[in-house]
């Protein structure tokens, strides 16, 4: 597997931390936020399952701006092999 040199930005990581502490955040937002934080300052890559969820969130016109932001970060850090 290729080395992941992409990292979550500080602003998106901060947003992800806020989402994880928000009791009103959806399960999808919390999943995406966890992935964003796991890719902050590490070589972790997005898993295939979460990549699929993030892609669906980006395609869904009803996704919130927060969900779209987190999903975009997750997808951008996916491996190109998929």
Per-residue tens of pLDDT for the chain, all 82 residues: 556 566 678 899 999 999 999 999 999 999 999 999 888 877 777 888 999 999 999 999 999 999 999 999 998 887 666 5
Q: Are 50 and 35 in contact (CB under 8 A)?
A: yes
- Tokens 């994880």, located at residue: 20
Question: Distance between CA atoms of 15 and 60, rounded to whole angstroms?
Answer: 20
In this prediction, residue 47 carries a pLDDT of: 83
Question: Distance between CA atoms of 15 and 9, rounded to whole angstroms?
Answer: 10
Give pTM, 2 decimals: 0.84
How many alpha carbons lie under 13 Å from residue 44 in its C-beta half-sphere? Answer: 16
Question: Distance between CA atoms of 9 and 26, rounded to whole angstroms?
Answer: 22
């Amino acid at each position: 597997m290729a080395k992941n040199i992409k990292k979550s930005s500080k602003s998106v990581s901060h947003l992800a931390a806020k989402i994880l502490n928000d009791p009103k955040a959806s399960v999808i937002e919390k999943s995406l936020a966890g992935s964003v934080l796991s890719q902050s300052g590490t070589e972790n890559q997005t898993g295939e399952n979460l990549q699929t969820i993030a892609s669906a969130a980006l395609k869904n016109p009803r996704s919130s701006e927060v969900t779209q932001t987190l999903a975009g970060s997750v997808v951008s850090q996916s491996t190109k092999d998929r």
